[in-house]
Amino acid sequence: MKRFITYLFILLPCLAFGQLFPKLPDFTGNIKKVVEKRYGKELATFRKDSGVFKPGAFSGWKYTYLFDENSGLIKRINTFQGKVRTEYTYRAETSGNRRIVREMMKDFDSIQKVHTIEYENFADQEGRIRKVNFWSQVTPESAKELFLFEVNAEYNREQLIEFTRHNIKINGDTASGEKCRLFYDDADRLTRIERKDISSGFKTAIYYNYNERGFVDHYSIDLLTEIQEYGREQIQEIYFKYDRRGNWTRMYWKSGRKNRLEAKRTIRYW
């Protein structure tokens, strides 16, 4: 479990709950409820060892986000083909310069096993996050384990420009990880993140592009920029469409010359 969680956090470009690694603004305004459907489904064929991928077909996965009256996320429910698979609840607390957000997952496929991820944020006197610890607790009875941490945060006034992220191996080694640098345009908008692997030196670059309303129109991920493979599509591009209140309602991924539907969102406001 610890190895899987570490792998997931290293790969995902966008996470939640105020840690140093920036994320796209998922929700803005007085949101009450969001229902998100995911698309792209592999259909079985007569051959047992193959299938046909249908990018426009509903996958069966649906995510429901619920918010309190202050538009704070309090619950997420994941269902597959109408059956609840996992349920997440969120709690936050602040004490001095330390803010903790807990994400408690109930897995209905594992006899309702409960697993908790804890995001522990440390801020300076200006309220800027300087360090983040990521804790995992597999069961309510087990001890917490530190599996990831972010340190060495550097700011240019209010803009985060650099930090280091370390993942902790099974044997406790903290040498692996990545250094992250952030770049902004003249309007103080994030335009690029460079992630450099500490052990190999390889980089992954994420580019952000904005529309005329100031929302992220799409972002591109260039994986392992030092390793270019001829004829292989290396850059992954994700596109968005927004409603009038600044929340995305459609997400697409580019495949060749086509934009393939990734997700649709139906949003209710207070």
pLDDT, tens digit, 9 for 90 and up, residues 244-254? 999 999 999 98
Spatial distance between the Cα atoms of 139 and 189, rounded to a whole number of angstroms: 40
Q: 44-78 pLDDT, tens per residue?
A: 666 666 567 788 899 999 999 999 999 999 999 99
Question: In this structure, what token pair is assigned to residue 94?
Answer: 């602040």
Radius of gyration of the chain (CA): 20
CATH class for domain 2-269? Answer: mainly beta
Question: In this structure, what token pair is assigned to residue 148?
Answer: 């990831």
Q: 101-143 pLDDT, tens per residue?
A: 999 999 998 776 899 999 999 999 999 999 999 999 988 889 9
The CA-based dihedral angle spanning residues 28, 64, 21, 12, taken in that order and rounded to the nearest 10 degrees: -140
The mean pLDDT value of the chain amounts to 85
- Would the CA dihedral through 128, 31, 236, 38 be positive or negative? positive
Please give the backbone phi and psi of residue 9, each rounded to the nearest 5 degrees, phi first.
-70, -30
Enumerate the domain spans of the chain.
Answer: 2-269
Spatial distance between the Cα atoms of 27 and 33, rounded to a whole number of angstroms: 10
Strand partners, 93: 100
Q: Which amino acid appears at position 13 of this protein?
A: P
The CA-based dihedral angle spanning residues 217, 263, 12, 73, taken in that order and rounded to the nearest 10 degrees: 90
Spatial distance between the Cα atoms of 191 and 5, rounded to a whole number of angstroms: 28
- Burial of 128 by CB count in 10 Å (0-12 exposed, 13-18 middle, 19+ buried)? middle
Q: 182-204 pLDDT, tens per residue?
A: 999 999 999 999 999 988 888 88
Contacts of 210 (CB under 8 A, 6+ apart): 189, 216, 217
User: What percent of the chain has pLDDT above 70?
Assistant: 86
Under DSSP, the state recorded for 168 is P
The DSSP line for 76-102 is EEEEETTEEEEEEEEEEEEETTEEEEE
**pTM: predicted TM-score of the whole model, two decimal places:** 0.83
The DSSP line for 210-268 is E-TTSSEEEEEEE--TT---TT---EEEEEEEE-TTS-EEEEEEEETTEEEEEEEEEEE
The beta-strand segments (E) located in 50-187 are 51-67, 73-80, 83-95, 98-107, 113-123, 129-137, 145-156, 159-167, 177-184
